Structure 1
């Protein structure tokens, strides 16, 4: 489910539109899987009244774990990190919404950080420093943060060299955008769905 294109301003187009990395809901998935495995294992080792108690507790734990997993997946589907030629957008939620928008022209610096485990699974944090009221903004659960950092730097450079990159992109610009999107897709930064959605938007 891509970010709604109707929320873009005139002359604004997408450079990146992604959901968080799958590790956003990874711990809840592991909790669900672990509760199921433990329940089955303990039921095989117990019997009688103890087995009944273990069964009820196991089922209750699995239900709770399943509910938490579903909640996290819904949050994942409704969380976006978007880079346009004008703004950085970090938005969460459908009914109760929250988010931050940072104008590209006010971004001073972009860094990323990854622990050893985060490098292993391909996730990290993006740290954005801006001169506006936002100050420093941390975007967690970013897939391939180094590639995302490059996209943001590209948006900043275009904004500074083309006066906010106003207007629709030229044919040459569209070709470059398609090449960039394809490179992100091949690296795994974009899913198939996100790649196709952004390509359709670019081609109109």
Structure 2
């Protein structure tokens, strides 16, 4: 992976995540329904002089619905990124306009997770990150391998506390 100019000196990427693939199940199911409806519509349109225009209208409507119900969620899934570095947790999302939020590891006070029965089967869950500051708690849903991410983030927070403590002692000396 190339160097990212938005990293601080000495900062390294530890893990990059996207939301779990289960967020795409509903849009993909809707896409199958739209395609099935298109095929039924094409078959049910009687042959005649306006049949071509009617079939074209049904196809255009199906394409618009596919773009709306499938491509939007797919792009949202692909452009949502959760990144853990040695200094901070970076959250990035947005298809056209990008939104970002960085949480310094030194400000994180608690990291926990929640997994329902379906989440346990699929290997994902909700990550809850509490930080000192005005925003307080951040809840990230549909995180793949949430237990591993929670453990990694906890370890990064502890490593950052040790690093900051060493730097503070070095400054005092």
CA distance in 1, matches of 2:165, 2:26: 40
Once the two structures are superposed, the pairs formed by residues 17-32 of structure 1 within 5 Å of their partners are 17-32=16-31
Gaps of 5+ in 2: 168-173
Aligned twin of 1:79:
80
Q: Is the 8 A contact 1:85 1:164 kept in 2?
A: no
CA distance in 1, matches of 2:3, 2:92: 12
Q: Is the 8 A contact 1:91 1:97 kept in 2?
A: yes
Aligned twin of 1:174:
none
CA distance in 2, matches of 1:63, 1:165: 59
Q: Is the 8 A contact 1:86 1:164 kept in 2?
A: no
Q: Is the 8 A contact 2:18 2:80 kept in 1?
A: yes
Q: Which moved more, 1:31-40 or 1:147-156?
A: 31-40
Say whether 1:143 aligns with 2:141. no
Say whether 1:123 aligns with 2:121. no
Give the paired residue count: 162
CA distance in 2, matches of 1:165, 1:3: 29
Q: Is the 8 A contact 1:107 1:130 kept in 2?
A: yes
**Residues 1:36 and 1:79: Cα distance change in structure 2 (over 3 Å):** same
CA distance in 2, matches of 1:3, 1:125: 30
Question: The residue matched to 2:164 in structure 1 has which SS?
Answer: coil
Aligned twin of 1:7:
6
Q: Is the 8 A contact 1:43 1:55 kept in 2?
A: yes
Offset, 1:35: 1.7
Offset, 1:43: 5.3
**Residues 1:65 and 1:120: Cα distance change in structure 2 (over 3 Å):** farther
Aligned twin of 2:67:
67
Once the two structures are superposed, the pairs formed by residues 101-180 of structure 1 within 5 Å of their partners are 101-163=102-164
* TM-score, with length taken from structure 2: 0.77
